[in-house]
Structure 1
């Protein structure tokens, strides 16, 4: 029996203003096949590879794959904005950069469905309120647990924090290795892709961008 679930659009709205609500935070109705249909699809892929899905080692693989997919792509069922809902205004007058660096994440390339492994560095300049530091990491995790491109992941994290917290500015830098480059195609292991995006004061003042990058690099010793 097919299930209808509430989901969240994947891509940022390029036409939305920085202070407007990103369209990927709106819920939408999405058709989702049943677990039985998903397991049947895995069995078909196993046959397509040339193996026998009925042999002992693969007999329970369809169930395991579907269960793993539920975990790896659980971000579709979660709203990142809700993670930032509780903020704190008692910050003893602190109004400088808040930086959460080296947030590890695992995602999957939307083109080949192979892993993207990396770290995110997220900073923002508060505008009277702050959020629990773990919530920033949670936002990264929710978006990472969807089919992604690194560019979209970077933009989504920044746009969500900007929209919900309304800080003076947001800075996001992501460094990741893409298995679609390491395992297939040109097969270049160890190459890293770097993306960054800035909003508000970080976009207006290049010196703030430099300060953010310097804090990320200096605190990592490189």
Structure 2
């Protein structure tokens, strides 16, 4: 049985337990669509960092801060399997190598398409950028809105979560950290 077939069977069972008739018009194809959606939303498990980077690390004499900001992300919380969405800002100080621009978004996608908590997601992204660039420092700030807090539980619609990880020069130098936060408007 394929992963899609297996997930489809479980979604049909869950809908039945909830009291739905999975043979009615509106739900006939829902187990299949839900299975395919879940596979897409968690395809980060099928990727590794080398595959995502695809040799897009280049020699460079640039030694000033590089920032990629407002990378949108979509993830699922590992506690409720509900979405959390937001923006990610990544900065690094190169140490002889730079990373292709699109690879930052691909790193964010790879880790966000796994069941996550935002704190862990932020650290995974920072560690990955440091690993592939061997930068002097890496800073990551993520801003997220969590459906598990908005749709259920305390139902707070205007709350958001901000997490940060500062490595190397961003941790060691207040000036570097301050420059990064000022440039992203934090």
TM-score by length of 1: 0.80
Which residue is 2:26 aligned to?
57
- Local SS of the residue matching 1:199: strand
SS at match of 2:80: coil
Alignment correspondent of 1:160: 128
1:201 alignment counterpart: 169
- Map of 1:98 onto structure 2: 66
Cα shift readout 1:188-215 (whole Å, capped 9, x = no counterpart): 0121100000111111112211111001
Confirm or deny that 1:83 pairs with 2:71.
no
- Matched position secondary structure for 1:156: helix
Q: Give the whole-Å Cα distance in 1 for the aligned partners of 2:69 and 2:147.
A: 23
Q: Aligned partners of 1:163 and 1:175: how far apart in 2?
A: 23
> What SS does structure 1 have at the residue aligned with 2:184?
helix
> What is the alpha-carbon distance in structure 2 between the residues aligned to residue 198 and residue 82 of structure 1?
25
C-alpha contact (below 8 Å) 1:102/1:121 kept by paired residues: yes
Offset, 1:184:
0.2
Q: Structure 1 residues 174, 81: closer, same or farther in 2, change over 3 A?
A: farther
* Deviation (angstroms), 1:36: 2.2
Structure 2 unmatched ranges of 5 or more: none
Hey, which of these two has a bigger chunk of helix by percent? 2
Structure 2 vs 1, CA of residues 81 and 172 (structure 1 numbering), >3 Å: closer, same or farther?
farther
What is the aligned-residue RMSD (CA, Å)?
1.3
Aligned residue in 2 for 1:41: 10
Deviation at 1:137, TM superposition (A): 1.1
Q: Unaligned regions of 5+ residues in structure 1, if any? A: 3-33
Shift of 1:80: 2.5
Give TM-score, length-normalised by structure 2: 0.95
Inter-partner Cα distance in structure 2 for 1:185 and 1:135 = 36
Q: For the Cα contact (< 8 Å) 2:142–2:163, is it kept in 1?
A: yes
